[in-house]
Chains A and B, each alone.
Chain A
Amino acid sequence: MKTTEALLETETETKGNSEASGRELENAAKIHYLTGSNAKFRKTEGNMLSVTADGETHPAVYVHCSFPHTNRTSYLSIRNIDNKEIGMIRSLGDFDEATAKLLEEQMQIRYFCPEITKVLSMKEEFGYSYWEAETTAGVCRFTVRNGGANAKLVTAVRLVISDVNGNRFVIPDIGKLGDKEYRMVETIM
């Protein structure tokens, strides 16, 4: 039987191991990380995002979230129009406030998705459901084709709804819906 100290020792060992393997992974992945010191972001006159990193200026780049549903502030990939990665941002905290705000603005441009705050009505008819909902962008009315693929739970509580044209709407927490709203939403899940 192992003593408590021995157990503790193994624990630290495992922790050390996982840290070491994390470093190994990082070395092998060869991802270039951008920070406030090696990259300067700027908004151009044409409302585009430009970045100067390692002496090179990219006039138009886009911010891709690695975890758009679970973490919007970490692991952002900066890519050009040809989907080539300029670098990654580990956390928005690695930049000054103004830059962080600029990047957040860019994410809002890329990820347009009204958040549903209240489902006003949902009527199902002939395999389509017609929605009217209060969202962060105002009242939206849209049509969703029935079938599991159009309303997907991306986490345990976050529901992403796609309408007939592929426009997206999100219910951030289905647990917070009212009883009546939940009943309406449940029928298409």
Chain B
Amino acid sequence: MLRTERMRLLEQWSLREDQIIVELSCDRNLTGGFAVTHLALTKDALWVAAGVNENIQEYNYKGFELPGKRKSKRPAARSEDDEAQPLEWRTERIPIGEIEELKVVNLVASGMIVIKGGEGERLLAAFTNGAMSQAARLAAVFEKLKKNEPLEEALQSGDGEDESCPQCGMLYPEKERKVCPKCMKKTKLFLRLLAFAKPYRASVLLIVLFMLLNSATGLVIPYLQGTVLFDQALKGEGSFAGQIGIVVALIIGFRTLSLLFGVLYGMITAKMAANVVFDLKSTVFSSMQRLSLSFYQRRQTGQLMTRVNNDSAELQYFFIDGLSYFIVNAINIIGIVSILLYLDWKLTLLCLLPMPIVIVLVRNVFPKLWRLSWRRHRRVSSLNAMISDTIRGTRVVKAFSLERKEMNRFQRANDNYATAEQNYNKLSSTVFPVLNALTQLGGMFIWAFGGYMIMQGQVAFGLVLTFVHYMHMLYGPIEFMNNIVGWWSHCMTASQRIFEIQDTTPDVRESEDPVELKRMRGEIEVSNITFGYEPNKPILKQVSLKVKPGQMVGVVGHSGAGKSTLVNLISRLYDVNEGSIRIDGIDVKDIATGSLRSQIGIVSQDVYIFSGSIAENIAYAKPDCSMQDILHASAIAKAHDFIEKLPDGYDTIVGTGGYNLSGGEKQRLSIARAILHNPRLLILDEATASLDTETELHIQEALEALIKGRTTIAIAHRLSTLRNADYLVVMDQGKVIEEGTHSELMGKDGFYKDLVRKHDEALKMNEVIIA
């Protein structure tokens, strides 16, 4: 929707800017195309304007640059100052009183606004995903307006206008990262990258020095081999007349020197590059640790691992291969060409005759070659992925006796790979010989014309030989320079990805003046919180909860009711959208994250065991504790006995590649970990859900030891876990539907009683089965 159109529309409605509370521009029609429907909410009505005569034939999605900046193959159909075709609107004013409810219905990759009134539901407009958060805001504001509640919070919720770059106005491709890829200059990126090499200034200087020496000594050799050897020593003229021994010794000497400098600079570069990459990796890794949980959940683990490993390796090439070779080759080209020009400019031009053909060839064929090589790389990765899939799934493959099918699948992937490989090889085995032949051709030119000139007595034989040598030295650097563009953008992409992690601001930020909570009493007050991981998908709606210090509160409900989300919010892994959570009367947003988390312990269903010894795993949260503490904690957690039975005791290495712990054993380790951590607030998130009944009983004892004297919030769908709870909260579909003590709830004949009945039935069933 264009600005001028919007102004016209407001005029038509005779609305002032400040009367509008929230607006939404919907962009799609119901038949698979685009159309504008503009919604504006004022204090007493919802205004709707639907474009009538419009047939939108082109559409710029959010995130694409503003028109004009990016060259488009097609000119924009409408622009800001296009007055020729004003849109016609079919407008409507719906008083708020006539709308019972305004909701956003999520569709696949889009959404729609549906209002409910006296005559049932009505589809008002549909929009693409980019407008989703604004739509969610409209719905939230409408609800508040309807209930006569204050609107500020709903208006602030979600993301605002700060999604676009203040410089160029382009929307950030990712909203949590306030960096505009367009305005971020490549040179700036390059300088930032160079900053990683800053601590190694001395090494860099040495490298450049040795490289220069290496080039210089290398450049002398052809001259010695050609002009000096043939034209002076052998011909008996000039300062080296007849002194073959000295000339050969000089050649050997310069070769050795050149080699020596080469080795030296190689050694320093290797050392420095390793250090720089080490720095890069640790920067990325520590930046990642800083980020909020949501960052990780939006991305695949593999993708992040790639960032830490491959992208930093990519940059290693930048520092070792790229940067230094670039300097060397540039110097070589300049050096060789100036020497040649100095020796004989006519022969030099002759020398450069095949050069344009080489450049054209490299320009045109190399991109194709890269593409083929890239395709080959992709095919081999998919082949590898398939192999690892099948090997990991061997049990399933064998169980269904589908070996034949797997072999066929492999055959196909292998075929694909083989074709890609052949294509690549075919092209590369054509291109390189042709390039070689061209180089040879240049040599032939020189021999032909040079030979003619020798016979004419215009030049000496040695000079021609010198030329041939130099020319051969020239082709390598020129080929390299041709690749430089691809290499440069490759590096910039990798560095951009690395800096992206560094630049991302965590969603959950510490407040500017955080309160240090020395010793938590454990009083929790959750009031009217609403929260969703994505706009318009609230997981928790208006949840309130009170926990007194030392109390154990049980949260029950079906899976997906929002129980785990609730505890994630209490430990502030996420921030609430509306409402507040207070611990000891202080909003969690104001408590220093360190002091908050150090006093909260979570024992959850999936236990993470780090690679390391059992002792290290138990002492994870308190690495400086004594051996005795570890023993005691594991004894309380009922883990001591099974650990003692292991041949390596507490030194048993567990985790990837180590000893395999059973589910119950892992759980007991995590309880021991929590006991040692000694939190003031303990959260048990389905701690025993994945265990069998007998193991659960053991764990239960361990848990009771842990719970003693702490505020505890226990989440469970198995009710047996909650028999000790002082107070119970029943949740369903993101809302608290019942609360009270066990006996109170049993007296109510509601959801809880039903849950208990079902649970008992299931237990009985179990008994029958076991009997």
Contact = CB atoms under 8 A, between A and B. Distances in A.
B126 A138 contact: no
Interface in A24-61: 44-48, 59-60
Interface in A97-153: 105, 108-114, 120-121, 123, 125-128, 130, 132, 136-143, 145, 147, 149
A62 B111 CA distance: 13
B121 A111 contact: no
Contacts of A141: 58-61, 64, 70, 72
Given A46-B121, A111-B108, A165-B62, A126 B181 contact: yes
Contacts of A163: 61, 63
A77 B375 CA distance: 39
B130 interface: yes
Interface in A47-100: 47-48, 59-60, 62, 68, 81
B28 interface: yes
Contact of A127 (B56, B65, B72, B500): B500
B566 interface: no
B154 to A, nearest CB: 22
Contact of A126 (B34, B114, B126, B496): B496
Contact of A138 (B57, B70, B130): B57
A130 B60 CA distance: 11
B105 interface: yes
- B interface, over-half SS: mixed
B73 interface: yes
A158 interface: no
A106 to B, nearest CB: 9
Contacts of A68: 108
Contacts of B56: 138
B121 to A, nearest CB: 5
B321 interface: no
B683 to A, nearest CB: 29
Interface in B192-223: none
A137 to B, nearest CB: 4
Interface string B306-326: 000000000000000000000
Contact of A81 (B57, B105, B181): B105
B173 interface: yes
Contacts of A127: 181, 493, 496-497, 500
Contacts of B114: 46, 48, 60
Contacts of B398: none
A48 B375 CA distance: 47
A5 interface: no
B97 interface: no
A164 B65 CA distance: 13
Contact of B32 (A44, A114, A123, A139): A114
Interface in A153-189: 162-168, 183, 186-187, 189
A45 B173 CA distance: 39
A44 B121 contact: yes
Nearest to B303: A147
Interface in B38-83: 56-65, 70, 72-74
Contacts of B514: none
Name, among B34, B64, B107, the residue most crowded by chain A CB atoms within 10 Å (CB to CB).
Answer: B64
Nearest to B123: A47
Interface in B73-126: 73-74, 105, 107-110, 112, 114, 119-123, 126
B129 A165 contact: yes
A109 B34 contact: no
Contacts of A164: 62-63, 173-174
Contact of B73 (A81, A121, A136, A140): A121
Nearest to A120: B73
Contacts of A167: 61, 109-110, 128-130
Contacts of B62: 164-165
A189 B108 CA distance: 22
B371 interface: yes
A112 B108 contact: yes
A162 B128 CA distance: 12
A105 B61 contact: no
Given A143-B63, A164-B174, A167-B129, A132 B72 contact: yes
Interface residues of B, number: 52
Contacts of A142: 60-61, 63-64
Nearest to A143: B63
Nearest to B497: A127
Contacts of B303: 147, 149
Contact of B33 (A105, A137, A189): A137
Nearest to B34: A137
Nearest to B374: A187
Contacts of B64: 130, 141-143
B391 interface: no
Given A81-B105, A165-B62, A168-B108, A125 B181 contact: yes
B130 A165 contact: yes
Given A111-B108, A141-B60, A143-B173, A132 B73 contact: yes
B30 interface: yes
Contacts of B374: 187
A47 B72 contact: no
A141 to B, nearest CB: 4
A162 B303 CA distance: 17
A110 B107 contact: yes
Given A147-B303, A163-B63, A189-B378, A109 B58 contact: no
Nearest to B59: A140
A132 B105 CA distance: 29
Name, among B31, B61, B120, the residue most crowded by chain A CB atoms within 10 Å (CB to CB).
Answer: B61
B702 interface: no
A130 B65 contact: yes
Contacts of A113: 32, 108-109
B408 to A, nearest CB: 14
Contact of B70 (A114, A130, A137, A140): A130
A183 B371 contact: yes
B300 interface: yes
Contacts of B74: 120, 132, 139
B358 interface: no
A27 B181 CA distance: 57
Contact of B371 (A48, A59, A147, A186): A186
A46 B122 contact: yes
Nearest to B62: A165
B34 to A, nearest CB: 6
B138 to A, nearest CB: 17
A126 B130 CA distance: 21
A140 B492 CA distance: 28
Contact of A45 (B122, B130, B174): B122
Contacts of A168: 108-109
Nearest to B534: A166
A114 B60 CA distance: 13
A59 B173 CA distance: 39
B378 A138 contact: no
Contacts of B34: 137-138
A46 B123 contact: yes
B120 A44 contact: yes
A178 B497 CA distance: 31
A145 B174 contact: yes
Given A46-B120, A137-B33, A164-B63, A111 B492 contact: no
B70 to A, nearest CB: 6
A59 B117 CA distance: 13
Given A139-B57, A141-B64, A141-B72, A108 B31 contact: yes
A109 B30 CA distance: 5
13 contacts: A47-B30, A62-B105, A81-B105, A109-B107, A110-B107, A112-B126, A126-B184, A126-B493, A127-B493, A127-B496, A137-B34, A165-B63, A166-B129
Given A81-B105, A108-B32, A163-B61, 7 more contacts: A59-B121, A110-B107, A127-B500, A130-B64, A140-B60, A143-B63, A168-B108
Closest CB pairs A-B (n = 6)? A46-B122, A139-B58, A142-B61, A143-B63, A138-B57, A47-B123
